[in-house]
Every structure is written in C-alpha cells, then in structure tokens.
Amino acid sequence: MASSQKQLHLNAFLHGTGHHEAAWRHPDVAPLEELTLAHYVAAAQTAERGRLDSVFLADGLAVSANIAFNPQHSFEPLTLLAALATATEHIGLIATASTTYNQPYSLARAFASVDRISGGRAGWNIVTSAGQGEALNFNLSQRPNHAQRYERADEFVSTAKALWDSWEDDAVVADKAAGVYADAAKIRPINHEGAHFQIQGPLNLPRPVQGHPLLVQAGSSEAGKDFAAQHAEAVFTAHLSVESAREFYADLKGRLGAYGRLPGELKILPGISPYIGRTRAEAQAKHEQLNSLVNPEYGVRQLSAMLDVDLSGLPLDGPLPELPAGTEGMQSRKALVVELARRESLSIRQVTERIAGARGHYTFIGTPEQVADEIELWFTTGAADGFNIMPPTFPGGLDDFVELVVPILQRRGLFRTEYTGRTLREHYGLARPSVRPPVQQAALLAV
C-alpha cells in the first residue's frame, strides 16, 4: 500500500453461528453448520478475501447448563487451526489455550507445529480459565484463585518462550555431504525448575517460523494488564464507550516501559459487533430481530456466569442485587457489566438484552459508512490500534463487514488493499524475536 498513514489491524472472531446469543435461531443461519470444517473454512477465506490480519478461535473447557438453549461447544481450536492453515495462504490464525489446564512443553510444541504448518501465521490467545466447571474437568474440586492463575500463567509463558528459543534459528544444517543434520551445540536444554513446572527441554521441534507465535491476551483486570504489559503483543478487550477504551489504551501502553518495551510493541484491539444495513433503520431491524429470539432463562444464566453470582429466581424486571466486590472469575467483565447496569439503572432483563449481542463488547448499529466512521474515530483518537470484529451471525455478518465496510476503510487509506507480508507478525507490524542467549533465558525463567 502506497499510503504512509498508520494502518488499522482487523481480526475476525470466528464464533460458531455468530456472536449474538440467538444467532443459531436466525432464519438465515444453519445451526448445525458450525459442526463442520466447511463452515470455518468459508469464514476464514472470507476474512482473507477482505485482507484481514487474522482470525481468532476462542475456547472453553466445559459445557454449561446453557447447552439447553444455546450452542456451548466448539472444536479443539489448535486442531481446527491446522486445518485452516491448509485452506488459506495469508491470514493469521489465532487460537485460545489455557495456562491453567495445559503443560508448557506440549502447548509450546503444538503452537510451534501450527506455526510451521501455516508458514508463520500462528498466534496464541493466552487465558487463565475463570470457570468453575473447567476445574472439575481437570481433577480439581475448585478453580485456582485469580492470583494463583496469573502466577502460573507467567511461569508458563516464560517457559514456553524458552522452549521456542531452545533451538537457534540455524541449528538445522542438513549437510548431506558431511552427514551432519543439526549442530547439536545450537540445541540446548532449558533445565527449568520453578514453582509450577520442572522442564528439561529442549523442544523436539526446531524454532517456529516467527521465532515465537504471536502472543495475544484478553484479561483486563489489574493482574491481566500487568501480564499483558510483560508478555502480550496484541490484546483483545471489551469497552462500551470510546472514552473507556481511551483510558484503557493509555493505561496499558503506559505500563510497557516497566518491562523495557515500546508502545508500538503491543496492539490493542477492542471488540465491536457491527449490525450493518443500507439504512440505520434496516440495521436496527436486524438487531431487533435477533433480540426477539432471545430466551430469557438463557440470558439470566449467561449473566449469572459473567457476574459469578446466581441470579435465578430474582425478578427479571428488578434491579441487579448488591454484589460481592471481588470475584475469582472474570474480574474485568464483571466490572464492565455492573458499571453499565448502575449507570443506566437497568433491570436484570435489560442487562441481559444489552449483553445478548456480544457478551459485553461494543455493539454498533448503522450503515457501512457509519460503521467505518466509528472505527476511524476510535482508531484516530487513541482508543484502539484496530478491532476484534464480532459478527452477530455467520456467514452473513462477516460477509457484510468484508464486502461493505472494508472497502470504505481501504478508500480512506486506513486499511491494506493487499497483504505485504507472509507472517502474522508482519501483518501486525511486529518484529520477529531473536533467540535469547542462555544467560538471558535463565534470567527470564528465574523471575
């Protein structure tokens, strides 16, 4: 692209039949398609046609009681990423994986594998898994508390980085004449002994194409922001106003210096769920149609899980009760929803309706020009480096964004018209990390 203007980063969040909780009931949606590879291949190829930076697959490790009213299942995302890698050429491939219920060696190997299979397009969305049901599937009677989960996550990610660096980039020689496949001096154990993990290494796979897969994080609690400032290269976050997003953006970018990092080394992408119509009235009608399909009981259960408090049995048209100040669950999302309910004096029913579209992310209703205007406003006023696009339905919502909004952003010089790099890091304008010397690796693991 000839323009020297700062460029947006756009990620498509692939989420079953759509991000609205009633998407599966929409007349244009085939609800069983999300159980097919073809569904995700088509979505990834649509995003790639729009020259988006990446697609993202979330993950959970338990089925909730909401399965009665809404899909609560998904493919194992790394398996799906490997399949998508063979059906796409350029777009980045990001998957969620938990640091609470995995081991660094196996997960570092899996992401290194996807990075090589895709030619350098893998990204890891690092989560600590807040749900109680997830703990019960992994031989625990209680989930670890919030602080413990982040302590383990820090050691986990530091160890994964060391494993990726256990092979130098030129360790594989493959010298047929000399009969030397690898320079063994450039393949080293990490000999890690920490509070949570004891790992000898090295990894049994050469270094990833990108050096490290792109590291993504989504927690916005104080612990989450500090973790992101130290480790993350992209952050998915939820904000309901541009003012809140600007505050978060300035706060998180301001924390990077403590870890020797520059603001450009971290990209912040708030979630936006756009309802797009030829007129605003048409877009509003799309939103109202989906809201009319919502099951109130599902909404209350979803809100209860988000707030980590059982709201069943309370009057739907009454206010949220007084809630405990803290939670061992999703701290930032709980704070966002409670603040919304108090600020606008919403009933429980009204809160469930407000979060039905995107689980607390920003919902915007308008024409393609209006959606582009809103994206440009956030991007140019210090609220975002780009956006995590959360279509209300698949495939239609993603089709609308790629076909109607992306061309406007391109005409304004805000977004690429062609891919200029091959790797996910190149799409995000991020440097490929060099191998840290053994002394630096040891210092990293000792922190």
Nearest in space to 72 (alpha carbons), one of 81, 60, 55, 58: 60
Per-residue model confidence (pLDDT) at position 311: 78
Q: How far is CA 158 from the centre of its chain?
A: 19
Q: Could you count the other beta carbons within 10 Å of the beta carbon of residue 112?
A: 25
Per-residue model confidence (pLDDT) at position 328: 57
Q: What is the mean pLDDT of the chain?
A: 91
Nearest in space to 415 (alpha carbons), one of 96, 8, 2: 8
Q: Is the pLDDT of residue 172 over 60?
A: yes
Question: pLDDT for 110-119, tens place per residue?
Answer: 999 999 999 9
Top-confidence range, 17-21, 174-178, 311-315: 174-178
Helix (H) or strand (E) run with residue 107 in it: helix 104-117
Q: Per-residue b/e over 231-260, b at no fewer than 16 CB within 10 Å? A: bbbbbbbbbbebebbbebbeebbebbeeee
Q: How far apart are CA 244 and CA 379, in angstroms?
A: 13
Q: Which amino acid is at 111?
A: F
Assess contact for 85 and 118: CB atoms under 8 A.
yes
Assess contact for 340 and 309: CB atoms under 8 A.
no
What is the arithmetic mean of pLDDT over 299-304?
Answer: 74
Enter the CATH code of domain 9-281+362-446: 3.20.20.30
Question: pLDDT for 284-300, tens place per residue?
Answer: 999 999 988 988 777 77
Q: Could you count the other beta carbons within 10 Å of the beta carbon of residue 319?
A: 15
Question: pLDDT for 376-406, tens place per residue?
Answer: 999 999 999 999 999 999 999 999 999 999 9
Query: What is the share, in percent, of the chain residues with pLDDT greater than 70?
Result: 93
User: Where along the chain do its domains lie?
Assistant: 9-281+362-446, 295-355
Q: Where are the beta strands (DSSP E) in 170-304?
A: 172-175, 180-182, 192-193, 198-199, 214-217, 234-237, 267-276
Q: How far apart are CA 281 and CA 284, in angstroms?
A: 5
Q: Is the pLDDT of residue 266 over 90?
A: yes
Per-residue model confidence (pLDDT) at position 157: 98
Question: pLDDT for 48-87, tens place per residue?
Answer: 999 999 999 999 999 876 787 878 788 999 999 999 999 9
Residues 6+ apart with CB under 8 A from 282: none
Q: Per-residue b/e over 346-385, b at no fewer than 16 CB within 10 Å? A: bbbbbbbebbbbbbbbbbbbbbbebbbebbeebbeeebbb
